[in-house]
A = this chain, B = another copy of it.
């Protein structure tokens, strides 16, 4: 089903979304070819890294031309698993949760937000785009009915683990953690941290110590 020589190393997977974003832009501009050199320059990498990365998948470039943009795009879409539509729920209807539920970029990339939940009774029924905020007890039903496979955890740190547990029990296979805490999950469930505050702290360090 998914064609690739062997498992792709994590370091490479992290760069794939970058490649995809750039190649999609090129496709829209009707550019047909792109070289490892151009990709490297635009994405802050070396051309060697780019070629090495692409060597993990069944896709070849042509000397003197580079890589065919549409083919590359399809390859990346396939490898990233974006060729299937994902059903996603958001837990936490605070500022961040609501913003994510409304983020236009998600549906555009194949991630459909099918529900938003909060335990705070004062938030229930609140309209967030086409959705309204539902109580936590409806989580399993919605996840079952829409065959939801991913959950976005956008609650305060203290609640993150228990929300994650609820999502996992309900059958979700991937979690995007926006809280600063670490989430423990069985290894049948993937967890990726996108902790904005952690990034700012990291930034704070590099700004403090840059010459």
Binding site for B on A (CB under 8 A): 2, 7-8, 13-14, 16-18, 20-22, 25, 42-44, 79-82, 84, 86, 88, 95-96, 98-100, 102-103, 105-106, 109, 111, 149-150, 157, 173-176, 180-182, 184, 187-188, 190, 192-211
Tell me the smallest distance from the CB of A16 to a CB of chain B, in Å: 7
Tell me whether A184 and B44 are in contact in the complex, defined as CB-CB below 8 angstroms, given that A173-B210, A176-B196 are known contacts. Answer: yes
C-alpha gap A79/B174 in the complex (Å): 32
B203 and A190 form a contact (CB under 8 A): yes
B209 and A188 form a contact (CB under 8 A): no
Query: Using Cβ atoms and an 8 Å threshold, which residues of chain B touch A21?
Result: 157, 180-181, 198
A209 and B7 form a contact (CB under 8 A): yes
Of the candidates B79, B106, B182, B206, the one whose C-beta lies within 8 Å of that of A197 is B106
29 intermolecular pairs with C-beta atoms under 8 Å apart: A2-B209, A7-B209, A13-B205, A14-B202, A16-B202, A17-B180, A17-B198, A18-B180, A20-B201, A42-B182, A44-B182, A44-B184, A80-B201, A80-B202, A84-B208, A86-B204, A88-B200, A95-B99, A95-B102, A103-B196, A105-B180, A106-B197, A174-B204, A174-B206, A174-B207, A176-B203, A188-B211, A190-B203, A190-B207
B17 and A182 form a contact (CB under 8 A): no
Of the candidates B98, B111, B181, the one whose C-beta lies within 8 Å of that of A99 is B98
Of the candidates B18, B42, B80, B199, the one whose C-beta lies within 8 Å of that of A205 is B80
Report copies per complex: 2
A182 and B98 form a contact (CB under 8 A): no
C-alpha gap A20/B44 in the complex (Å): 30
Tell me whether A204 and B80 are in contact in the complex, defined as CB-CB below 8 angstroms, given that A18-B182, A22-B181, A182-B18 are known contacts. Answer: yes
Tell me whether A188 and B204 are in contact in the complex, defined as CB-CB below 8 angstroms, given that A17-B180, A102-B95, A199-B176 are known contacts. Answer: no
Tell me the smallest distance from the CB of A167 to a CB of chain B, in Å: 13
